[in-house]
Structure 1
Amino acid sequence: MSRRRKGRDVNGILVIDKPAGLTSNGILQHVKTLYGAAKAGHTGALDPLATGVLPLCFGEATKFSQSMLDSDKAYIATAKLGVTTETGDSEGKVVRETPIPPGLNSAAVEAVLGDFRGPIQQVPSMYSALKHKGRPLYEYAREGIDIERPARPVTIYDLTLLEVRDTEFDIAVTCTKGTYIRSLVEDIGNALGCGAHVTALRRTLAAGFVLEDAIPVARLESMREQGESLDSLLVAPDAALSMFPELILSADRLRSILNGQPVRISDQEFAGPVRLYGEDRFIGLGEGIPDGEQVVITPRRLVKTAD
């Protein structure tokens, strides 16, 4: 006998403005409870220190969480100069203090930032969630074990210096997935000759969503207390897939896709991931594979409501 899932069917994406001091999973579980949802997941963790855009997926939207995780991100970070910590942020133990070079100003910092724009190689922090032999690196770090980490390619699309103060600077960063802002700040600090660590971090972009889209958790709690429905705050799953081209299928092609069968089209624009639609509804995500002058569209992630 099948076991009935606890919770109700909730489908869609909720963009949360994550507060500081809480884990992404802690926020997820709290919001999942507020919704009484049967299934939910987030699209890439933010450190407890960090705030900002955190898309949460419910129900059918969880099928597209990997695509959202793979999207570009943007942040605003505050860095403390002259102090290096174990974790690369203010939550870690101080391991080194170095005098800040005299007269360090915006021009000096800007001169260093040029080396970190574009494609770069970055060594992940030992306090990251990357896994080694099935365990996250931070578990090894807490045991005093250092694991060799190869540098990984990431791309910094934009790195803007916002302000330099006596012992701090602020930067805005737009980057590919897998970029560690803590590591970036540490590397900038080392290039300046004094080290640095992150004291504040706010994510301003994830999966195409910006801060203006994000909802404070306190608003959810207030709505729940007043008996208001939270479902009106959800956005459709395809809202997070706008980076992919849209293909509206004819009735015959729609039938084939829903039956798990590929279809052929002549437009090379649809090579790669593609959003699939019927006449008036989102069907799911497909993949276009070039085959001569045509493209073969194969269904990859279809929503259950497409029947």
Structure 2
Amino acid sequence: MNGILPLWKEAGMTSHDCVFKVRKILRMKKVGHTGTLDPDVDGVLPICLGRATKVAEYITDSGKSYRAEVKIGVSTTTEDASGEAVEAKQVFQPFEIEKLNRILSGFTGDIQQTPPIYSAVKVDGKRLYEYARKGIEVERPTRIVRIHHIALHEESVRLEDDTCTFTIDVSCGKGTYIRTLAVMIGEALGYPAHMSKLTRTSSAGMTQKDCLTLSQLADLAQDESSVQNRLLPIESGVSQLKKRIINDKVASKVKNGAVMEIPEDWNAGPKELVVFIHENRALAIYHLHPSKEGLIKPVKVLWTD
């Protein structure tokens, strides 16, 4: 089978657990996920099957949306509910919705984030969580991430156990840590905070309505065609990239990974990727040649036959 399986990951499982179970259910080895979701997080996890594993990185780099519960008044070691409490400050009354909306709007656009110490970001070849587990302090790299949209989810503000909890909807670019965003929101309000719950609501345009659970997949697996009918085409994994329709002559060159002259109507910048489409099939991904002026070269060939 070849295609993208939009899987609804249940809480309590790692992304690698999901890949292992899909391999077992479908009895195939070429299976890969498209970005790690923490065990406590549920939601959309696109799984690539067969040839679709070639586009996994582009799904990982695409935009994602989340629904997060933010708890103001307590911070934790991991910035989420799985960590130990670090600091507490009593919240006496729920925050006004107008104030929250004003604070949240300040996080729209490009913002600086420092990844959590308990994260998979690498420093000197090791994951940050490896340092954290050994109690080793290490300087974490600050980076720029993009928040496309952030808003309070309905009137979800409530006061409980000396803390104030509310839910936000966030659409963001790659590399964004929602738990760190929750901490930053707390800082803007003048309180310690953490992310108490998280659901990924979409990834590369795939939402819950597109997804199967592992148990549903197991039921469908009795008939391979039933599973294939639920898969999304490889092209959906590169839908966010620029497209170029090519003819038969160019397609034969593209399938062989040919370096070619820049077409006259080429409209992509130096770092932009362009998907070459022939007969509704994505054959390859091209960009400007990094060292030879006037040429384009493939970043990845998706189909050779």
Q: TM-score, normalised by structure 1?
A: 0.89
Query: How far is the alpha carbon of 1:210 from its aligned partner?
Result: 2.0
| 1:280/1:161 CA distance change after superposition, 3 Å | closer
The correspondence of residues 109-128 of structure 1 with structure 2, limited to 5 A, is 109-128=100-119
Name the CA distance, whole Å, in 1 between partners of 2:280 and 2:207. Answer: 27
Query: How far is the alpha carbon of 1:289 from its aligned partner?
Result: 5.7
Query: How far is the alpha carbon of 1:75 from its aligned partner?
Result: 0.5
SS of equivalent to 1:74: strand
Which deviations, in whole Å up to 9, do the C-alpha atoms of 1:154-194 show, x marking residues without a partner? 11111101121112110001111000000000111122122
Name the CA distance, whole Å, in 1 between partners of 2:208 and 2:254. Answer: 36
Q: Structure 1, unaligned stretches of length 5 or more?
A: 1-9
Query: How far is the alpha carbon of 1:25 from its aligned partner?
Result: 0.8
Match of 2:285 in 1: 285
Do the aligned partners of 1:289 and 1:297 also contact (CA within 8 Å) in 2? yes
SS of equivalent to 2:95: coil
Name the CA distance, whole Å, in 2 between partners of 1:176 and 1:276. Answer: 24
Q: Within the alignment, does 1:241 sit opposite 2:241 as a pair?
A: no
Do the aligned partners of 1:43 and 1:68 also contact (CA within 8 Å) in 2? yes
Match of 1:251 in 2: 248
Moved more, 273-282 or 212-221: 273-282
Q: Within the alignment, does 1:303 sit opposite 2:294 as a pair?
A: no
Match of 1:265 in 2: 263
Q: Which of the numbers 69, 74, 93 marks the counterpart of 1:78?
A: 69
Note the aligned Cα RMSD (angstroms). 2.1
Moved more, 271-280 or 178-187: 271-280
Name the CA distance, whole Å, in 2 between partners of 1:203 and 1:281. Answer: 29
Do the aligned partners of 1:245 and 1:269 also contact (CA within 8 Å) in 2? no
Query: How far is the alpha carbon of 1:211 from its aligned partner?
Result: 2.2
| 1:33/1:87 CA distance change after superposition, 3 Å | same
Match of 2:194 in 1: 197
Q: Within the alignment, does 1:228 sit opposite 2:226 as a pair?
A: no
Match of 2:157 in 1: 164
Do the aligned partners of 1:265 and 1:295 also contact (CA within 8 Å) in 2? no
Which deviations, in whole Å up to 9, do the C-alpha atoms of 1:21-72 show, x marking residues without a partner? 1111111111111111121111110111111110111221111111111111
Name the CA distance, whole Å, in 1 between partners of 2:288 and 2:209. Answer: 33
Name the CA distance, whole Å, in 2 between partners of 1:252 and 1:76. Answer: 47
Do the aligned partners of 2:3 and 2:233 also contact (CA within 8 Å) in 1? yes
Moved more, 150-159 or 279-288: 279-288
Query: How far is the alpha carbon of 1:280 from its aligned partner?
Result: 5.0
Do the aligned partners of 2:34 and 2:46 also contact (CA within 8 Å) in 1? yes
Do the aligned partners of 1:257 and 1:298 also contact (CA within 8 Å) in 2? no
Q: Within the alignment, does 1:142 sit opposite 2:140 as a pair?
A: no
Q: Structure 2, unaligned stretches of length 5 or more?
A: none
SS of equivalent to 2:285: strand
Query: How far is the alpha carbon of 1:207 from its aligned partner?
Result: 2.0
- Identical-residue share of aligned pairs (%): 37
Name the CA distance, whole Å, in 2 between partners of 1:39 and 1:283. Answer: 19
| 1:49/1:169 CA distance change after superposition, 3 Å | same
Name the CA distance, whole Å, in 2 between partners of 1:103 and 1:114. Answer: 19
SS of equivalent to 2:106: helix
The correspondence of residues 21-60 of structure 1 with structure 2, limited to 5 A, is 21-60=12-51
| 1:115/1:297 CA distance change after superposition, 3 Å | same
Do the aligned partners of 1:287 and 1:298 also contact (CA within 8 Å) in 2? yes
Match of 1:11 in 2: 2
SS of equivalent to 1:87: coil
Do the aligned partners of 2:64 and 2:171 also contact (CA within 8 Å) in 1? yes
Q: Which amino acid aligns with 2:283?
A: I
Do the aligned partners of 1:246 and 1:276 also contact (CA within 8 Å) in 2? yes
Do the aligned partners of 1:78 and 1:200 also contact (CA within 8 Å) in 2? yes
Moved more, 158-167 or 122-131: 158-167
Query: How far is the alpha carbon of 1:223 from its aligned partner?
Result: 2.5
Do the aligned partners of 2:64 and 2:172 also contact (CA within 8 Å) in 1? yes
| 1:181/1:280 CA distance change after superposition, 3 Å | closer
Do the aligned partners of 2:257 and 2:301 also contact (CA within 8 Å) in 1? no
SS of equivalent to 2:117: coil
